[in-house]
Amino acid sequence: MKEGVQDRQAEAGKRYDVFHTDCPARDVVDHVTSRWGVWVLISLRSNSLRFYELRDSIRGISEKMLAQTLRGLVQDGLIWREVEPTTPPQVTYGLTEFGRDVGEPLTELFDRITLRLSPHSAG
């Protein structure tokens, strides 16, 4: 059986191939580019937020979807989660260094789109 390019790259360990189904980076890409992942990363670009602040900043997201999205992004190492032992517990989220690196081009994309769509550029 002939060895494929994806198999050689995975074995060499030089670079992840996100097109390969077993690529560990593929899950991270899926979480970042999910419907809500992009909005969570953009919402956290300036400062850390509590769960309810994130929920309020992202219109249309349910608590269940926010919790699921946050869980994936924390697991990927893109955001950190801090729980204050109060009643009820206060949970705060923020970007890790990795999350800032990944979020930067998303923020640039968001800024370019909103600038292009601004009322000043219409016409």
Is 84 in a helix, a strand, or coil?
strand
Q: Check if the beta carbon of residue 51 is closer than 8 Å to that of residue 91.
A: yes
pTM, whole model, 2 decimals? 0.75
Looking at the chain, how many residues does it have? 123
pLDDT at 114 over 60: yes
**How would you classify the pairing of strands 49-50 and 90-95?**
antiparallel
Residue 60 has pLDDT above 90, yes or no: yes
Which range scores top for mean pLDDT: 5-9, 20-24, 74-78?
A: 74-78
Q: Could you tell me if 82 and 91 are in contact, meaning their C-beta atoms sit under 8 angstroms apart?
A: yes
Q: Give the up-direction half-sphere exposure of residue 73: CA atoms within 13 A in the CB hemisphere.
A: 32
What six digits make up the tokens of 87? Answer: 């009643």
